[in-house]
Amino acid sequence: MLKSTAALVIDQNGDRVLYAKNVDAIVPIASITKLMTAVVVLDSGAPLDEILVVTEADLDDVKHTRSRLRVGTALTRTEMLRLALMASENRAAAALARAGEGGTREFAAAMNRKAASLGMLHTRFVDGTGLSSENVSTAQDLSRLVAAAYNYPLIREYTTSTSYAVTLENGRLLHYNNSNRLVGSSVWDIGLSKTGFINEAGRCLVMQSRIASRQVVIVLLDSWGKLTRVGDANRIKKWIETRAPRLPES
């Protein structure tokens, strides 16, 4: 049915598995990591209006990805959080982790403690961006993360915004779009979304969505090709809509 290497679809209300494929395979998760970054930031109680400044320490020395947030860019913690979640902005995520109490290393430790508390027993984080292939998890574990992250109103809002613009100190506007093209689709009702990609992880997508009157969690990992994860999500939606009357009730 699906082309993603690992996939899981759960009826969120009744915690019933509707579809499962390789759900216990431990694999790199790329920027799906940023959901946990957001959870840890919000749990910390750090002031959301505090100004964070991008430094040399936030540059990507793993994949050497580019960013429009230059060294010296100053944004509030909430703006960094929005860009990290909505547009998967790596320097924003790195700045959030570095600005946490104890710095980047302690932030990763906090991510792992939170994962353990959620029962994500096959998950490990080493950074807040997901650029490292050592950030690993399973589809089963990530379904727990999605369910937990859905309880945070800001995460729901930021991951489902179609676009956002930040104003730099020089007055210049930087416009960003959501990394998940389905968020702007009129046929989808998405409550939470996060994409991810590095070569080791393939293209990944997690979502919470309402389909045929059901609240569902969707996890798609290691999708080949640029359009496969979107195609798989649309196949899941059509499958649920077609079979809704025959699926178990919550």
List active site positions: 31, 34, 88
What's the CA gap between 126 and 245, in Å, rounded? Answer: 43
Of 76, 84, 71, 85, the C-alpha closest to 46 is: 76
Q: Which two tokens stand for residue 205?
A: 């997508």
Q: Phi and psi (nearest 5°) for 56?
A: -55, -30
Query: Alpha carbon of 238 to those of 17, 68, 78, 212: distances in Å?
Result: 17, 37, 35, 9
What are the DSSP calls for 57-96, one per residue?
GGS-SSS----SS-TT-EEEHHHHHHHHHHS--HHHHHHH
> 76: which strand partners?
51
What's the CA gap between 203 and 32, in Å, rounded? Answer: 10
